Structure 1
Amino acid sequence: MSAPTLRPPSDPAVPSRPAPAPLRPSGLTWTVLRLHRAALLVWVAALLVAGAVLTWMYVIAPNAGVAGGPCAAPPVDGLPDCAAVDAMTTNDVYSAGLDLVATALSYLMLPVAAWAGAALIGRELENGTAQLAWTQSVTPVRWLAAKLAVPAVLLTAGTTAVVLLHVWVRRDENGNLLGAWYDSDVYLSIGPTAVAYALAGLALGALAGLILRKALPAAGAAFAATLVLSYVLRAVRPSLWPTTTITGRAALDLPPDVLVLEHGVVTSDGRRIGNDLACVGSETQNQIRACMKSSRLSDFWATVHPESHFWPLQLVESGVLLAVAGAAVAVTFTVLRRRTA
């Protein structure tokens, strides 16, 4: 027989310890994530779709180059069969996939601004949930800081990942498939400006939500403000960095990777005329001399941004956007302090 196990009698006067609660994330960060989990799921799904599309574009990139290249019928000297090439649409798929991702990155700041104005700030102020949170030992400043910091981190990490993946996929140098670096959508999708635009949209949306305190008006105002900002910066982009002037025959035969801002001629009496394409079609030196003599020209010039200006333009524009975002955040906190003082 086994000996019975002796247990001391429980003392009803001594309360038993409650079972430890399961570990769960807590704090303002977790609150923001739970409250806006629908937006978080949409953002994660968008990143997964973009990653899948870009990975597929990387896989089919070699075939895209073949589909757009020379062929022979029947195939000879290593050239593919024209019948097979004509049946291939890989180059169209490749180009369309890259264009889709580039466009999505270029206009990301618009839905971000509308969401920040409506759901992130405006709706909570309109429904009174923000005021309720301020009575639960959460100061308004901490509340707003968490509201801005959590989506800012997620936007920065996700957008940066997609931009880097997009740059990695653009390994083919075929400009017909990839588009020029200065094309607006391409330009905004392969550099830090994509992240800066998203953060500027977030800050402008938060400011609109705090000022208007209603979801729909804040969404509209944030969307409009961000759209105006993007159009203004697109218009002034060429002037964000000093241009390069090319003279002589080189101005008639510009490489395809330069952004031409102005093209002109210098007359024999020293006058400089812009947007004049005289003698551009001349191929030989004799043709150029004959054209210059008949047109009474002494020189040619072109004002351009070469591809080497890509990073200076990107950094300056990103700096402007981050300054706008910083100013919007500062104004947002100032307005909040005045309204809750």
Structure 2
Amino acid sequence: MSTPIGHRPSGLTWAVLRLHRTALVLWGAALVAAAATLTWMYVIGPDARAALGPCGSRGTGLPACADLRAIDADETYRAGIGLVATGLTYLMFPVAAWAGAALIGRELETGTARLAWTRSAGPVRWLAAKLAVPAGLLTAGTTAAVLLTVWARRDGDPALVGAWYDTDVWFSTGPVAVAYALAGLALGALAGLALRRALPAAGAALAAASALFLVLREYRLSLWPTTTVTGPAALRLPPGALDLLHSTVLGDGTRLDNNTACVGQDTATGIRNCMRSTGVTEFWAAYHPESHFWPLQLVESGVLLAVAGLATAAAFALLRHRTP
């Protein structure tokens, strides 16, 4: 039975979804695959942790080593979590290319956009719908994938899933994943409006996204002040800390950066003996404790959202300039 004309979906939102239904289907399939993978990883998580734990011969009260090696759950777990994490890490790039080529560039190149402006909406409403619909879908889907990743990681054992500052872990467990996707969308849209051709716009969007990615990777750890300690505490940093710099001070006042002398000494006697033999009088270290995860995430997300906002504003300004 056909749907009455008056009840058929309509409007700019529906037009965007219908025109880009292939991308929508691919995005939905990717999310379903990620959800299924992460659910499986959550289920095998206890076996993966057991495979990393102590084992022994039968009768010792420990799991049999042969049985644990046969499970291989830890390798499967690492691979599954890592696959989804890598996808979230580099999501920005296909989003930017698609936004530049298919979402904006192709429609301007073929004249479809001008037809839409005259038949259903003006240029500003057209661009607003073009950005709002994928932005909403990207935000919802990426947020769900991040939450599922955190859930599947359980206690986040670094031996299984990496440290909090590892690139894939960084992207897949915090809001930066969403912020990067939105920045890629905005940069792609701006490239499409500036170049008005699909392939050049895709290339320009990828170049802009790559530049942003590399700059933030270079300066990420500078977005929040480090913690500094001196004395014996510099030799024993807290668990999970990201060690950035170790320095030592010699008896004549000379400071040697990136010097790990005496690191690993566990006793006061060992530290004194090491200091006496090396001529070191003081230790100094700079690091990010694990508690800096959220400040760093939020500052980087803020930078990315600012870039997305500026690119979006530039896109609207360019559109107004080029249309009556």
Instruction: Tell me whether 1:280 sits opposite 2:266 in the alignment.
Output: no
State the secondary structure of the residue aligned to 1:115. Answer: helix
Which residue number in structure 2 is paired with residue 230 of structure 1? 213
Between the aligned residues of both structures, percent identity stands at 66
TM-score, normalised by the number of residues in structure 2: 0.97
Residue 215 (structure 1) aligned to one of 165, 180, 198: 198
Compare CA radii of gyration and give the structure with the larger one: 1
Residue 58 of structure 1 aligns with an amino acid whose one-letter code is Y
Residue 93 (structure 2) aligned to one of 107, 110, 123: 110
Which residue number in structure 2 is paired with residue 11 of structure 1? none
Count residues in correspondence. Answer: 322
Which residue number in structure 2 is paired with residue 270 of structure 1? 253
Cα deviation for residue 30 of structure 1 reads 0.3
Instruction: Tell me whether 1:38 sits opposite 2:15 in the alignment.
Output: no
Cα deviation for residue 20 of structure 1 reads 5.4
Which residue number in structure 1 is paired with residue 291 of structure 2? 308
TM-score, normalised by the number of residues in structure 1: 0.92
Alignment of 1:115-130 (within 5 A): 115-130=98-113
Confirm or deny: 8 A CA contact 2:238 2:289 kept in the other structure: no
In structure 2, distance between residues paired with 1:100 and 1:238: 25
In structure 2, distance between residues paired with 1:228 and 1:147: 24
Cα deviation for residue 309 of structure 1 reads 0.6
Which residue number in structure 2 is paired with residue 197 of structure 1? 180
Per residue, is there more helix in 1 or in 2? 2
Confirm or deny: 8 A CA contact 1:122 1:210 kept in the other structure: yes
Cα deviation for residue 290 of structure 1 reads 1.5
Residue 306 (structure 2) aligned to one of 306, 320, 323: 323
* Stretches of structure 2 lacking an aligned partner (at least 5 in a row): none
Confirm or deny: 8 A CA contact 1:204 1:226 kept in the other structure: yes
Instruction: Tell me whether 1:148 sits opposite 2:138 in the alignment.
Output: no
State the secondary structure of the residue aligned to 2:8. Answer: coil
CA RMSD of aligned residues (A): 1.3
State the secondary structure of the residue aligned to 2:211. Answer: helix
Cα deviation for residue 238 of structure 1 reads 0.8
Confirm or deny: 8 A CA contact 1:75 1:82 kept in the other structure: no
In structure 2, distance between residues paired with 1:286 and 1:49: 55
In structure 2, distance between residues paired with 1:126 and 1:20: 34
Instruction: Tell me whether 1:68 sits opposite 2:52 in the alignment.
Output: yes
In structure 2, distance between residues paired with 1:316 and 1:291: 40
Cα deviation for residue 96 of structure 1 reads 1.0
* Stretches of structure 1 lacking an aligned partner (at least 5 in a row): 1-18
In structure 2, distance between residues paired with 1:174 and 1:323: 33
Q: Deviations over 1:314-336 (max 9, x none)?
A: 11000000000000000000100
Confirm or deny: 8 A CA contact 1:160 1:195 kept in the other structure: yes
Cα deviation for residue 291 of structure 1 reads 1.4
Confirm or deny: 8 A CA contact 2:241 2:288 kept in the other structure: yes
State the secondary structure of the residue aligned to 1:165. Answer: helix
Which residue number in structure 2 is paired with residue 12 of structure 1? none
Cα deviation for residue 269 of structure 1 reads 2.6
Structure 1 residues 221 and 89, CA gap change in structure 2 (3 angstroms)? same
In structure 2, distance between residues paired with 1:291 and 1:193: 43
Cα deviation for residue 155 of structure 1 reads 0.2
Cα deviation for residue 205 of structure 1 reads 0.2
